[in-house]
Chains A and B, each alone.
Chain A
């Protein structure tokens, strides 16, 4: 199981002059007619930030909480380096965690679609079965390969819980078939 993307909001509690930032900070995109936020890309960790004049920002692309915190620190350090005054400490809130997981089994999606509640499976439109789980409140995209995408989580723990829960559920409903996998990559 691995976290693929974390979306977070950062509150700076101060107004920002985006026009001044566009002039002094290199490699930023700012087109207020297209989108009210200024786009700032950090090379390492590789994340992208949308910065708003209200002092709020959205940071996307981090693969762990540690990476997210490091990114926010570096973004602020970079802005300061180019003369943008930033006071106070940023408040970081994780809004969405996207993860992927592999059950290493074949899933009978037709059967799962029939037996699971709150699901949507439309193979002419998308190959995965979309399952909305109530607790934890996340959405899972389940594929016949046994791989899946978990999204909508606010805490890492919800992802683990959801994966275990859906695996047990699919097992109970007999929607799983073992598959012979050549390369078993070892992972924690």
Chain B
């Protein structure tokens, strides 16, 4: 009886210690990323489930915390790339991605497929674009999705190209370089997506 109680207490305290450390990490990374409380709370919930299922064994707390944050961002539709989150940890993107896949498979956390439109708000505001431009970028992406142009493509690259077009047509031109930088993709990707979008959606660009 006593022994059983002791074992249970020991396990509980081990989970508590793990959680306490994890919450510090979560708070640190979350603040560095400028995430709202709702995202941090959701991430904490996901992490708690992971610890209770013993998924953190053999892995660093930090990587699992980062993966929980990523899953939370995806659920709440706060656009953040895996790289952005991983940069504040000692682990690399690959390790965080591995933990994220583990969370998806082992926990019943449902994560919707990321929507390029979610990246528009972030990229647009970082560039100081008007709401009108962001709205037209979202419309371009909606059309692109309807003709099956977005399948398999990086949502950040798609959003970047849509913003490039929208800014151009709204007289708020930003260079591909500027957009690529804040979107976290290369200029080549922005250019490739841009070419495809204007060609397939028959968008007229006056400028040169």
CB atoms of B148 and A123 under 8 A apart = no
Question: A124: which of B148, B150, B151, B154 is its contact (CB, 8 Å)?
Answer: B154
Q: By the criterion CB–CB under 8 Å, are B154 and A123 in contact?
A: yes
Segment 129-154 of B: residues with Cβ below 8 Å from A: 145, 148, 150-154
* Interface residue count on the B side (C-beta < 8 Å): 16
Total CB contacts across the A-B interface at under 8 A = 40
Which of A108, A122, A128, A143 contacts B148 (CB under 8 A)?
A108
Closest to B115 in A: A110
In this complex, what residue of B is CB-closest to A118? B105
CB atoms of B154 and A109 under 8 A apart: no
Given contacts A106-B148, A108-B148, A177-B148, contact A121 B113 (CB under 8 A): yes
Which B residues lie within 8 Å of A144 (CB)? 148, 151-152
Q: Are A110 and B82 in contact (CB under 8 A)?
A: no
Contacts of B104 in A (CB 8 A): 120
Contacts of B154 in A (CB 8 A): 123-124
CA distance A122 to B97 in the complex (A): 11
B114: interface (CB < 8 Å): yes
Asked whether any CB of chain A lies closer than 8 Å to the CB of B155, the reply is yes
- Select from chain A the residue with minimum beta-carbon distance to B149: A144
A124: B residues at CB distance < 8 A: 81-82, 114, 154-156
Q: Decide: A127 near B148, CB < 8 A? Known: A113-B113, A120-B101, A120-B104.
A: no
Q: A122-B114, A125-B82, A127-B153 are in contact. List 10 more A-B contacts (CB 8 A).
A: A108-B151, A109-B151, A109-B152, A120-B101, A120-B104, A123-B152, A123-B154, A123-B155, A124-B154, A144-B148
12 contacts between A and B (CB under 8 A): A106-B148, A120-B101, A121-B113, A123-B114, A123-B153, A124-B114, A124-B156, A125-B97, A127-B152, A127-B153, A144-B148, A144-B152
Contacts from A to B (Cβ < 8 Å): 106-110, 113-114, 120-125, 127-128, 143-144, 177
